[in-house]
A and B are shown apart, each in its own frame.
Chain A
C-alpha cells in the first residue's frame, strides 16, 4: 500500500492515483480539518503544505505527491509560523463561521514562513486565492501583520 508523509508520520492509504489529496485526507484518513469548498482551486479552503509550500489539495492528485512532506491544519501549530498565525487569529478575532479558516491559516503560515515582514502587496498576493464568505479579510490582514510583528 502506498504511503504519505503527513504531519511527520507515514500513513498508508488505499486510493487511486488520480484521487485528489483532499479526499484522501478527509475520507480515507479521516482528517477532516482540511475543507472542501469548490473542487477547482478557486477558493483555497483545501490548502495544505507540500514541503512548506501552499497547495490546493482539491486538485492535487495523490499520485503526484510522492515522499514530499504534507502539513495540514491539524499540525500547523507545530511550525513556528503556524503557531504565531493561530494565536494572532484568536487575538484579532478573525474567525466567524470558520469554514474557510483552515485554508486561510495554511496560506498565511506559508507566507510568514518565507517572509517575516510582508507588505500589503505581499499579503494580497499570498491570500487572494482564499475566499471568505463571512468577509473576514480586514482582520486576516491585521492578524498576519500582528503575527509578523511577533516573530
Chain B
C-alpha cells in the first residue's frame, strides 16, 4: 500500500536547529513545489547551510531555501515573497525552493498583527521592509565573505544571480561556495537596500511558483493528506447552532460495511470508517437526537429587527471632524440605510483536518492562515503542552478568512482523542456551510448634506457584531472594533464635518468572522452607494461628483480618471443598461471600478463589462495584481447577486452550491484591470476586488433602472418591470 502514502513524495521533515523557536516546535516541512530546474531534495538539515535569518538558507550546492512566513491560498503570496527576498539577496531565482514556515509568532509573526497570520491583504505591506532587509543582510554577508577570500574591498564586488563578482579582476564565486564563510560573519543590522530603479525581479511578470503542480494533481492540500493506517471521518453538529447531542441511535450505521466507530463528543457526532464514503453513509444512517438549546427559536427576521433597533442607538464615536450636526442642518439633507447579510465562505476545499494523536504528542495536517493558533488550539484540545504539537501546514484550497479560525482543528482533535491511530476528518459541504463562521450582518445608517454641489456634512453609523472582540481583543478598544470601521473613519472624500459611529450588536447563536474584503466590504458598499444617491440629488454625474470630492486624494482621483476613460464612462448605452462606479482607498491601495450591467424585464441582472484601475504602489508581481482584482471582483459580485445566509429556528437554511449560488463562467464578462505605475510602497490587493464589485454593480443597476437598492443580495423583484 505504499502508493497510499503520497505524503512522502512531497513532504519531508526538517529540524530547524538554528532557528531556536520560542514555541519549542521544531518540525517544519518542505512544500511539494519547487522551481523547474530544482534537483531532487537534498537531506534536510540546516547544519552546513548559510542561514543568516529565519527566512533564508543557502546550501553548498547553491540551493536557496526561502521560508514563507505567509500562507499561499491562491493570492500569489509565495511568489511575491520569494521575489522580494530574492531581489535583495540577488539570488538565482531558478535555484529557489520554498518552504512553509513552522508555527512561531516570534520568528514569523506578521509585523502588523504581532501574530502569525495571513489576512487583511497585508502580507506584502507588512513584510515588504523586513524581507528586503533579510535578503540584503544575507547578500552583504556573502559579498563580505567573497571580498575577504579575495582580499579586496567589498565595495568593489557586486552580486547577481546567486554569485558574487569582483569587477576589477573578474573573479566570481557562487553563493553555495561562500555559504560556510558567510555563515561565520556577523549579521549586519542596517544593510543598504536597493533603489527601486535597480530592481531586477520586483515589478517583472514572474511565473508563479505554486502553479505547475496544480495542473497535474501533484499538489497536496490538507484534504489530500495520507498516513499509514489512517481512518476517515465525517461529522455532524447540531442543526440548531449551539445545540448538543442528546442521544445517538447507531444501530443501522454500525451495520454499514467499512464503518468502524461512532464518536460522540458533547456537541458533535462523527463516524469513522475505512474511507470517507463509509463515514458519510454511516453518518446518514445515524439517528441523532439533539438538545437544541437556547437558539432553537432564532430567526433571521428577529436578528434583523434587533440589528435595526441597535442601529437606532447612539453607539460610540470612532471619528469626529468639524460639527456634523450643524453641518447637516445647513444644507440639503439626505438619509439612507444599507443592510448586508450574513455570508458563508464556501472555500472550494471543504474544512478538514488530519490528526495523529499519541499519548505524548499530537500531529496536525491542515491548511491554515493562523498556524500558531492551530498549534495552541490543538494543544488545548489534546491536553498537551505546546511543544508536543506539530503543525504541518499546506497550500490552501481557498481561505477568504475561513481559515483564520481554528474551530475545525479543535473538533478534529476532540474526535481523534477517541480514535486509535491517525484520522482524517472531512466536513461535508453541507456541514461546512451550516457551521461556518459567518461574515457579520451589517446595517449602516448615513445622513449627509449637500451645499453648492459638494458634501458639507457626513454622519455615518455602522452597526454589527464585533469580530475583533473574539478574534483579537486588543483591536477592540473603547467600544470600537477597528475592523468594523475600516474605510469609514478613513473614507476618501474631503468633507469638512464628518462623524463615524459604531454600534456593537451581537446576534444570538451566530459566530461571525472575517470574510474577504473584511470591514471595508461593508463600509465601502454603503459609502459608495450613498455617493451615487447624493450625486443624483445634486444633479451631478457620479464620476464628476466624486472627482470634486477627492481633492485631498490624488492617487484615488487618478485611478477614477483612468477607469472612467477605459470604461467609456459617459458614452450612451441601451435602455436598462447602466454603468456604476466605485472608488476605495482600502488596504493601502487606490482602486476605481466601473461595472456595466443590464437589468432585464424580469429583474435578472446580466454583467456586461468590468473595468478597474489600481494604484497599489510598487506592483511586486504585476500579473498577480490583475489576477487578484479579477478574482476578487467575481467573489464580491457573487455575493451581491446571490449571497445570503438565512436562519430559521436556529438552523442555517443554505447547505450547498444549489442553494448558495456562485457565479459561473457563462455569467462573467470581460474584466480589464489597469495597473498604474507607482513608486510608492506596495499596498494590499487580495481583498480589494471583493470590496469593489458590489457597490459598482449596485450603482450600475441604479443607473439602469433608477431603483436605489439598499440591501444585498440584489432584490430581483424590486427590479422587474411592473405590468398591469
Give the interface of A toward B (CB within 8 A). 15-16, 19-20, 23, 26-40, 42-43, 45, 72-74, 76-77, 86, 89-90, 93, 95-102, 105, 123-125, 127-141
| Pairwise interchain contact B212-A131, C-beta atoms closer than 8 A | no
Provided the pairs A97-B397, A138-B630 are in contact, do residues A128 and B208 lie with their beta carbons within 8 angstroms? no
Cα(A103)–Cα(B107), bound, Å: 38
Q: Which residue of B lies closest to A107 (CB)?
A: B665
Contact with A73, one of B3, B210, B217, B350 (Cβ below 8 angstroms): B217
| Pairwise interchain contact B656-A135, C-beta atoms closer than 8 A | no
Question: CB-defined interface of B190-226 with A at 8 Å, one 1/0 digit per residue?
Answer: 0000000000000000011011101111111101101
B183 to chain A, nearest CB (A): 36
Contact with A33, one of B217, B395, B397, B631 (Cβ below 8 angstroms): B217
Q: Which residue of A lies closest to B630 (CB)?
A: A138
> Which stretch, B61-69, B72-80, B331-339, touches the partner chain A?
B72-80
B residues 638-668 in Cβ contact with A at 8 Å: 638, 656-658, 662-666, 668
| Pairwise interchain contact B656-A76, C-beta atoms closer than 8 A | no
A-B residue pairs, 3 tightest by C-beta = A33-B217, A135-B634, A99-B397
Task: Count A-B pairs with CB separation below 8 Å.
Answer: 185
Contact with A40, one of B4, B221, B395, B656 (Cβ below 8 angstroms): B656
Cα(A64)–Cα(B576), bound, Å: 49
**Chain B residues within 8 Å of A33, by CB:** 216-218
**Chain B residues within 8 Å of A136, by CB:** 627, 630-631
Contact with B348, one of A15, A20, A27, A45 (Cβ below 8 angstroms): A45
Cα(A34)–Cα(B347), bound, Å: 16
A60 to chain B, nearest CB (A): 12
| Pairwise interchain contact B211-A135, C-beta atoms closer than 8 A | no
Chain A to chain B contacts (Cβ below 8 Å), 10 pairs: A16-B277, A33-B217, A36-B223, A37-B657, A86-B216, A90-B215, A101-B214, A133-B400, A134-B74, A135-B630
| Pairwise interchain contact A74-B216, C-beta atoms closer than 8 A | yes
Number of interface residues of B (CB under 8 A): 68
A81 to chain B, nearest CB (A): 14
| Pairwise interchain contact A127-B665, C-beta atoms closer than 8 A | yes
B693 to chain A, nearest CB (A): 10
Question: CB-defined interface of B694-709 with A at 8 Å, one 1/0 digit per residue?
Answer: 0000000000000000
B483 to chain A, nearest CB (A): 22
A135 to chain B, nearest CB (A): 3
Q: Does B635 contact A (CB under 8 A)?
A: yes
B274 to chain A, nearest CB (A): 8
Contact with A131, one of B73, B217, B226, B662 (Cβ below 8 angstroms): B662
**Chain B residues within 8 Å of A138, by CB:** 630, 668, 670-671
| Pairwise interchain contact B396-A97, C-beta atoms closer than 8 A | yes
| Pairwise interchain contact A93-B208, C-beta atoms closer than 8 A | yes
Q: Does B55 contact A (CB under 8 A)?
A: no
**Chain A residues within 8 Å of B73, by CB:** 97
Contact with A38, one of B429, B633, B668 (Cβ below 8 angstroms): B429
Cα(A90)–Cα(B74), bound, Å: 14
Q: Does B276 contact A (CB under 8 A)?
A: yes
Interface contacts beyond A27-B274, A105-B215: sample of 15 additional A-B pairs, CB < 8 Å, sorted by A: A16-B258, A23-B276, A26-B224, A26-B276, A27-B276, A30-B3, A32-B220, A32-B223, A36-B426, A74-B217, A95-B210, A98-B74, A123-B665, A129-B664, A131-B657
Contact with B665, one of A19, A26, A137 (Cβ below 8 angstroms): A137
| Pairwise interchain contact B426-A77, C-beta atoms closer than 8 A | no
| Pairwise interchain contact A130-B665, C-beta atoms closer than 8 A | yes
Cα(A101)–Cα(B638), bound, Å: 19
**Chain A residues within 8 Å of B258, by CB:** 16
**Chain B residues within 8 Å of A129, by CB:** 664
Provided the pairs A93-B208, A133-B398 are in contact, do residues A43 and B657 lie with their beta carbons within 8 angstroms? yes
Contact with B221, one of A20, A23, A99, A133 (Cβ below 8 angstroms): A99
| Pairwise interchain contact A86-B208, C-beta atoms closer than 8 A | no
| Pairwise interchain contact A99-B348, C-beta atoms closer than 8 A | yes
| Pairwise interchain contact B214-A98, C-beta atoms closer than 8 A | yes
B residues 1-26 in Cβ contact with A at 8 Å: 1, 3-6
Contact with A77, one of B216, B219, B224 (Cβ below 8 angstroms): B216
| Pairwise interchain contact B275-A15, C-beta atoms closer than 8 A | yes
Cα(A27)–Cα(B212), bound, Å: 24
**Chain A residues within 8 Å of B208, by CB:** 93, 95
| Pairwise interchain contact B276-A96, C-beta atoms closer than 8 A | no
A32 to chain B, nearest CB (A): 4
**Chain B residues within 8 Å of A74, by CB:** 216-218
